[in-house]
Chain A
Amino acid sequence: MLFNSLHFLVFFPLVVGLYYGLPPRWRGALLLLASYYFYMSWRAEYALLLLATTALDYYSGVRMSRLPDKRQRRPWLALSLISNLGTLFIFKYFNFFRDAAVALAGTLHLPVGAGPALGLLLPVGVSFYTFQSVGYIIDVYQGRLAAEQNFGRFALFVAFFPQLVAGPIERGGHMLPQFRREHDFDYGRIVSGLRLMAWGLFKKVVVADRLALLVNPVFNSPRQHPEGPLLVLATLAFTFQIYGDFSGYTDLARGAARVLGFDFNLNFRQPYQSASVPEFWRRWHISLSSWFRDYVYIPLGGSRVAPARAYFNLLAVFLISGLWHGANFTFVVWGGLHGLYLVLSTWARPAREWLAQRTGLAAHPGLRRGLGVAITFVLVAYAWIFFRANTLDDALFISRHLLTGWQLNGHQVATLLLDFSQHYRPELAVAAFAVGLMLAVEYFGSRHSPQAWVAAQPWATRWVGYVGLALLILYLGIFNSTSFIYFQF
């Protein structure tokens, strides 16, 4: 069930109505049932997989909580990690590593036969709920979190429908206490949640899905569009598409949770305003980057090791993060590129400072930051090519042709724009307007609290805004799109 579907439009109000209508002691059960219904609307049998891994993690957590010594807890940790990561491997990575091994054997002329490929469909959201469960189990093992003793509550923590399929990846320490609390009907909070959902819907159906119409033809057959300007346009469009899609999904998820009385952590903080790649990763998909920081990077030694080892840690984390996104070399290269950006950024910091002093940029922090934002944006946008391309070959083709074919006359520019807008000129204007509005609101949000600002307006102003946003979504929205991009992970 998609957040932008008629199905959800019926499901969500029904759940909210029942939730506040039921006595508090039944609400958790309702949310758990609703969450499993939500998940089963994709593929019912995979709910059994979710239930099985939930039961195993719950049991491992409870058993660990009864053991005072870390060494004694270790087998339960291992059992849980093996089952979680093993499931992820089988469903998501088995065929990828099998194909890679066969290709490698072929290159080395080794007489290795290919075993059969697994014809399994990737369970939606498996990477998200696996990481959430793994985070919980490590926290319990480390003694940072008391194991949840109530199975229903733990199952709800894993399967809570607003964040089940694409995050944010929440922590037990943040969510479990919220599931224990009663949540009264709070008009202000519900309205604030609905506002967030409306804004998320705008970003998804008006910005992201519209840009997808422009991006897909180019990225799906780049060889038919070898002109550099078109490839740059498509790359820029995808840069905003993925932001609209994923942050739109997150706003919908956070808004839905808020309506029900729960708070999710912030997942995006205006990432395209970052002045460096490290800053970008503190603002983009925050729940995943902080997960990798806490459960992979720091255990590897983080930055408190020799420089070479610290660079290795960074690269390793980003390669794994790339692979987490998808079983395809395009994602590995995307992760590797970001790892490389971070290594270079850390390594070249003294040189950058020296350069800033020499050129006088250090005396103009605003200008220096602006330059940093522009360079970071270009680096991030370039890396998105690998994220979006269907194959590594396509990504390399696009990379090679970005700077070719720029000697255009007016007629050629017009033809190119017409091709890019699917032969419907107003689409380009609408896309530019939608992206512009999204960026303006996000920029405003980086300096003020949009929710507080809206709440402080006279009712007439607020209602013009609400009705205007509803009509923008209704008139400009693309409603026949498929899934959210991050659902595939």
Chain B
Amino acid sequence: MPVQAAVSKLLMRLLLLAVAGALGAALLLPVVLRGGVDAFYGRFASPAAGSLILGTSRAAQGIRPAVLAARLGGQFEGPLLNYAFTLTHSPYGTAYLASIRRKLRPDVRHGLFIVAVDPWSLSAAGRADTVTNEVFPEEKSFIGQLHEVSQSPNLAYLTRYQTKPLYRLPLDFATATERLHPDGWLEVNIGLDNAQVRARTARKLLDYQKLAATQHLSAGRFAALRQTIDFLKRHGRVVLVRLPVGQGLRALEQQYQPDFEQQMQQLSTDFAVSFFDYSAGPYATTDGNHLQKAASQQFSQQLANDLAR
């Protein structure tokens, strides 16, 4: 076969294969476009926000923007987005603040900003008496590294941070154990019978006991929280919120940081913002740390009512 003909044949075959591969990948497009990639992707594929809910997985699962929007209506600029991730990704710090700056529309003046606080989201690794340089691992995650946070499809996120094999996308979407809503609320559907909840609660408490033994309240994170509040105040109303947790975890938090509540009160006074402490609230959790789906509806309703006053 002449060389030119062979080259053309090879290129045609490779093109065909590439088209077949692209068609195969395109089967996932409906899932990707609905934001059903993982528990985070949708927040980076939504448009820039006018109001934000911030914090870790407690806030991600516990505060529903739709409930607040329904109760508070046009009292703040929309869209209201739950931009809370996990303790690994979004503890308060300069990386999270930079990501918040990217996500918030710069022209917002009357936004609503729910800043969920707890001792863990203000802690860093190492015991207070031994740490010299604080390390903030989230700086190396998508929170610190992803610069385009309002793009659909978000190719930067999909190529760098989507870690699941592709076959899991439609499976996870179909089973919907975790479903990220377009407003950023993370719906989690897991077993809620007493035995399951008890086992999860015990395991979670153990995890947090380990954290308490190996972490300290971080001056760096505290300073970043102050900067975050300062920044958000220029764009609207800021409210500090401590979410409800189970009794065991609440006792551990009190033991880990007995002065935490006073520190938050002081912070709210310094910045003239409200502080709502619901930590002892009677809401059911899945594991002592995260509110159950029904409880998140009730809690969001109560939060909306308190914000409306």
Contacts and interface: CB of A to CB of B under 8 A. Distances in A.
Interface in B1-56: 1, 3, 6-7, 9-10, 13, 16-17, 20-21, 24-25
A191 B10 CA distance: 8
Interface stretch (A42-50, A245-253, A474-482): A474-482
B10 A475 contact: no
Given A185-B3, A187-B9, A426-B171, A474 B166 contact: yes
Contacts of A466: 17
Given A184-B3, A185-B7, A467-B17, A477 B165 contact: yes
A313 B13 CA distance: 52
Given A185-B3, A187-B6, A475 B163 contact: no
A480 B163 contact: yes
B3 A475 contact: no
Nearest to A20: B7
Contacts of A424: 168
A470 interface: yes
Given A426-B171, A430-B167, A6 B25 contact: no
A190 B10 CA distance: 9
A471 interface: yes
B262 interface: no
Nearest to A194: B14
B133 interface: no
B159 interface: yes
19 contacts: A6-B159, A185-B7, A187-B6, A187-B9, A210-B165, A426-B167, A426-B171, A467-B20, A467-B21, A470-B20, A470-B24, A471-B24, A474-B21, A475-B165, A475-B167, A476-B166, A476-B167, A477-B166, A480-B163
B17 A187 contact: no
Contacts of B20: 467, 470-471
A475 B166 contact: yes
Contacts of A478: 165
Contacts of A20: 7
Interface residues of A, number: 23
Interface string B57-79: 00000000000000000000000
A13 B209 CA distance: 53
B4 to A, nearest CB: 9
Interface residues of B, number: 20
A477 B17 CA distance: 17
Interface of A: 6, 20, 184-187, 190-191, 210, 424, 426, 430, 463, 466-467, 470-471, 474-478, 480
B81 to A, nearest CB: 26
A475 B171 CA distance: 12
A216 to B, nearest CB: 14
Nearest to A424: B168
A466 B15 CA distance: 13
Nearest to A472: B167
Nearest to B172: A424
Interface of B: 1, 3, 6-7, 9-10, 13, 16-17, 20-21, 24-25, 159, 163, 165-168, 171
Contacts of B168: 424, 426
A476 B24 CA distance: 12
A184 B13 CA distance: 19
A470 B17 contact: yes
A54 to B, nearest CB: 33
Nearest to B166: A475
Contacts of A6: 159
Contacts of B17: 466-467, 470
Contacts of B167: 426, 430, 475-476
Contacts of B159: 6
Contacts, number: 49
A487 B241 CA distance: 49
Contacts of A471: 20-21, 24
A430 B165 CA distance: 11
B302 to A, nearest CB: 33
Contacts of A187: 1, 6, 9-10
A471 B18 CA distance: 11
Of A186, A187, A477, most B-chain CB atoms within 10 Å: A187
Nearest to B14: A194
A20 B4 CA distance: 11
Contact of A470 (B9, B13, B21): B21
Nearest to B25: A474
B10 A476 contact: no
A470 B22 CA distance: 10
A117 B107 CA distance: 55
Contacts of B21: 467, 470-471, 474
Given A185-B3, A476-B167, 18 more contacts: A185-B6, A190-B10, A191-B10, A210-B165, A424-B168, A426-B168, A430-B167, A467-B17, A470-B17, A470-B24, A471-B20, A471-B21, A474-B21, A475-B166, A475-B167, A476-B165, A477-B166, A480-B163
Contacts of A470: 17, 20-21, 24
Nearest to B160: A480
A187 to B, nearest CB: 4
A186 B6 CA distance: 8
B20 to A, nearest CB: 5
Contacts of B1: 187
A172 B166 CA distance: 43
A257 B149 CA distance: 41
A388 B229 CA distance: 48
A8 to B, nearest CB: 15
B93 to A, nearest CB: 23
Contacts of B6: 185-187
Contacts of A426: 167-168, 171
A438 B224 CA distance: 51
Contacts of A430: 165, 167
A191 B14 CA distance: 10
Contacts of A475: 24, 165-167
B45 to A, nearest CB: 19
A191 B6 CA distance: 11
A53 B260 CA distance: 61
A185 B9 CA distance: 12
Nearest to A186: B6
A185 B2 CA distance: 10
A353 to B, nearest CB: 49
B25 to A, nearest CB: 6
Contacts of A190: 10
A478 B162 CA distance: 10
A184 B16 CA distance: 24
B76 to A, nearest CB: 38
B253 to A, nearest CB: 25
Nearest to B24: A471
A161 B20 CA distance: 30
Nearest to B16: A463
Nearest to A209: B165
A260 to B, nearest CB: 14
Contacts of A191: 10, 13
A256 B21 CA distance: 21
Enumerate the 10 nearest inter-chain pairs by beta-carbon distance, A residue then B residue, closest first: A187-B6, A475-B167, A467-B20, A471-B24, A475-B166, A480-B163, A470-B21, A185-B3, A476-B165, A476-B167
Contacts of B165: 210, 430, 475-478
